[in-house]
Amino acid sequence: DGGITQSPKYLFRKEGQNVTLSCEQNLNHDAMYWYRQDPGQGLRLIYYSQIVNDFQKGDIAEGYSVSREKKESFPLTVTSAQKNPTAFYLCASSLNYQPQHFGDGTRLSIL
Amino acid sequence: GENVEQHPSTLSVQEGDSAVIKCTYSDSASNYFPWYKQELGKRPQLIIDIRSNVGEKKDQRIAVTLNKTAKHFSLHITETQPEDSAVYFCAASNPSGSARQLTFGSGTQLTVLP
């Protein structure tokens, strides 16, 4: 799905630092999502947004924040309050009521 | 909230044999069930999905069956090939606005032996 771009591909976080993961889509999708994937596990929903300037918490929102100022962009900030941030982060988007399609992911590690 | 259990966690089959992966869900309101394939280090890719008003759906070598009464659904891959080797995830979604909140199973590592 070349229409969903996540950057960077790899990211390192120092203790006490906030980092922001980028997700951009040019598919004109209304809904966007952030998932966290830990080794050997399924995906868990962090936040999702159905429309601009609106978003809802998923199952594991603590320690994360998002914004949706533009339809095509849904950045995720991993704050210092997230004590175990090392994971593979996946962004997805969809038209209303349609299947979700994923970006290539960002791998976040702690320095 | 929704809980999705997926079995088995690993599955090895000989090339040409069939593979079956099973999932159960807890929320009877769930009405959409996609399956994703994820190769190592890559994005999950949708391979097939089914809605609750349908009992079975087939796409070439891949089929999904849904039993709403028992709250379980299964992925069937026939005539397996080495390129089918990957991790497969099931998911369930209940209606919650226009965005589908997916709850994923823990994944099945499928290995197709040549």
pLDDT per residue as tens digits for the range B57-85: 999 999 999 999 999 999 999 999 999 99
Q: Which residue of B has its CA nearest to A31?
A: B99
Number of Cβ atoms within 10 Å of the Cβ of A96:
13
pLDDT recorded at residue B99:
66
- The reply to whether residue B104 touches residue A44, judged by beta carbons under 8 angstroms, is yes
> Of B72 and A40, which is predicted with more confidence?
B72
pLDDT recorded at residue B95:
67
Least confident stretch, A43-52, A68-77, A93-102, B24-33: A93-102
How far apart CA B42 and CA B36 sit, in angstroms, is 12
Cβ proximity of B24 and B87 under 8 Å: no
> Residues for chain B: how many in total?
114
Q: By the CB < 8 Å criterion, does A102 face chain B?
A: yes
- The reply to whether residue A50 touches residue B97, judged by beta carbons under 8 angstroms, is yes
pLDDT recorded at residue B98:
59
Lookup result for tokens 């996540």:
A6
How far apart CA A9 and CA B43 sit, in angstroms, is 12
Least confident stretch, A27-31, A78-82, B8-12, B91-95: B91-95
Interface contacts (A, B; CB < 8 Å):
59
Q: Which candidate from B1, B43, B99 shows the least CB-CB separation from A48? A: B99
Residues of chain B with pLDDT under 70: 95-99
pLDDT recorded at residue B1:
81
pLDDT recorded at residue A40:
80
Q: By the CB < 8 Å criterion, does B89 face chain A?
A: yes
How far apart CA B38 and CA B29 sit, in angstroms, is 27
In chain B, what residues touch A102 (CB-CB under 8 Å)?
43-45
pLDDT band at A2 (very low <50, low <70, confident <90, very high): low
Mean pLDDT, rounded, of chain A = 92
